[in-house]
Amino acid sequence: MNQPYPSQLLERAVGEFAKLPGIGRKTAMRLVLHLLRQEQSAVEAFGSAITTLKREVKYCKVCHNISDTDTCSICASPNRDASTICVVETIRDVMAVESTQQFRGLYHVLGGVISPMDGIGPSDLQIESLVERVKQGEIKEVILALSSTMEGDTTNFFIFRKLAPFDVKMTVIARGISIGDELQYTDEVTLGRSIVNRTLFTGNM
- For a second copy, the binding residues (CB under 8 A) are 1-10, 12-13, 15-16, 19-23, 27, 29-36, 38, 40, 43-57, 65-68, 72-74, 90-92, 94-96, 98-99
CA distances from 177 to 12, 116, 182, 189 (A): 47, 29, 8, 11
The distance of closest approach from Cβ of residue 79 to a second copy in the complex, given in angstroms and rounded to an integer, is 14
Nearer to a second copy, 35 or 191 (CB): 35
Q: Which is nearer to a second copy, 50 or 196 (CB)?
A: 50
Least distance (Å) between residue 157 CB and a second copy: 26
Q: What is the 3-state secondary structure (H, E, C) of 95-113?
A: HHHHHHCCCCEEEEECCCC
From residue 54, alpha-carbon distances to 67, 121, 184 in Å are: 12, 25, 46
Compute how many other C-beta atoms are within 10 angstroms of the C-beta atom of residue 190: 15
| Shortest Å, Cβ 85 to a second copy | 16
In Å, the largest CA–CA distance within the chain is 68
Parallel/antiparallel/unpaired status of strands 141-144 and 169-172: parallel
Closer to a second copy by CB, 98 or 141: give it: 98
Q: Where is 161: in which H helix or E strand?
A: helix 150-163
Q: How far is the CB of 150 from a second copy (least distance, A)?
A: 23
Closest to a second copy by CB, 39 or 182 = 39
Rounded Cα distance, 174 and 197, in Å: 8
For a second copy, the closer CB: 19 or 198: 19
Q: How far is the CB of 84 from a second copy (least distance, A)?
A: 18
